[in-house]
Amino acid sequence: MSTRDFPAQIGDLPKIGRPATSALLAQGITSLVEVAAFGKKPLLALHGVGPKAIDLLSAALAENDLVWADD
């Protein structure tokens, strides 16, 4: 399945690119709260999630007074 089959943005998550979005969807992650609970290190281990996506997610978490579970 191509990443084109996945939406560019889901839930309250920022636009992080289709590969990263599809990686999150594959894990059942559709919200910032779920991103925070999953943790930064496990997300980085997912194919399609890189430092740029983590930076965008970190900024979104900070804007919503959320923190990474593994920080």
Predicted TM-score (pTM) of the model is 0.86
Q: What is the pLDDT along the chain (71 residues), one digit of tens a residue?
A: 544 565 666 889 999 999 999 999 999 999 999 999 999 999 999 999 999 999 999 999 999 999 999 87
Asked whether 39 and 70 are in contact (CB, 8 A), the reply is yes
Q: Which long-range contacts (CB under 8 A, 24 or more apart) does 47-52 make?
A: 47/19, 47/23, 48/3, 48/17, 48/19, 48/20, 48/22, 48/23, 49/16, 49/19, 49/20, 49/23, 49/24, 50/20, 52/16, 52/17
* Domain edges within the chain: 3-63
